[in-house]
Structure 1
Amino acid sequence: ALVHGLTRGGRFPVFEAYASGRIARAYLAPQPDDAVPRFAYENHVRTLVEERLWPSSTTDISELRLVIEYQRQNGADRTLTLDIVDYPGEWLLDLPLLSKSYEQWSAESLALSREPLRAKLAAPWHAHLATLKPEAREDEQAALTEARLFTDYLRACRDERFAMSLLPPGRFLMPGNLADTPALTFAPLDVPMDGSAPDHSLWAMMRRR
């Protein structure tokens, strides 16, 4: 809406520079990072205007550069370059995880999964979890299975029939460019919050990731 309004002449009554006519023009320009997809602004506008449909949800990072030529209050001409980065809202769920240890996150995730409404959805994951020994030798196949079942549980919780919130890591639901990478091949283990992971154990591998 911001980009469309500035480039097509919208109404911004509380944006003093625009309301007073000090914005000369605004236009889209090539983004700074060619390795990041461009935000499909034109396609989204077309979907909204012509098809009356809300655009599909964001699945990965994208960028859009907006250049605004304006006049300062003292009359000097200036140019403002605004780089807009769009990313999945699900990833916001992961911000609180930055302050938690793997053990704390595991304990909280398991406690949630054992609540009445979630326990049935988590049953396949819980069944596999019961076969694992966190102190056992690291095992990539066990980690893959555990991560897949944990992700299936998160997706089931997100299903419109249940529409539950509090489903971190959101990156498991919207993996983007990390799909099928070791960075997302982990899951909670039933370990003590103050415990220490033995070297080269499944626990240590999960904690590292």
Structure 2
Amino acid sequence: MTPELFKMIANYGIMVVISGIFVWQQQVLFNKVFEILEKVTSTISKIENKLNNSDKLTGKGLELALTLKMQDIRWGLQKRIVKYILENNLKENWEIISRELAVIFEEKKQSYYTTFKDISDSVTLKLATEIMNEELEATHEIIISLMTDLKEKGTEEKSLYDVAQRSVENHFEHFENILTEKISKLAV
């Protein structure tokens, strides 16, 4: 073997070893890079999912929105019912008034649903709507009962109109308190 051939074999042998070590290091490095990229991709996916769902209210924002809408319904109904009591002849207009009240209560239910259908998740929407519908139905029954009694006995005793107005105001205060408590539990 000539020294030149020996030198060539040694050089190529060292190159093979160096190349092998380089390839091995690159493989280890790529594995680490791919692990990091996988974690980054997972995190970006979570962030993207969160951003895509950011138009849904949760927590305190949802509680505030539900409470404000409930108060809007409360004051709207209370004002309208007191107006019916004070400004209408219940005995003469009872059929129209009772139908109008049924429509008004139904509109309030629909208004509540349509307000929150796009800004809350389906489970919260269902629970909030059920809570509101239950309270509105109970309130409707109470108001109809109160106004029926007022229609029949109010012609003889005019002071019953003032009592009825206070009863409506008290009921709606109770209505708001109950719903505020239920909404605060729901939005947690």
Larger relative contact order, structure 1 or 2 (CA cutoff 8 Å, min sep 6): 2
Q: When you count strand as a share of all residues, which structure comes out higher?
A: 1
Max Rg structure:
2
| Fold-level similarity (TM above 0.5) | no
Q: When you count helix as a share of all residues, which structure comes out higher?
A: 2
TM-score w.r.t. the length of structure 1 is 0.24
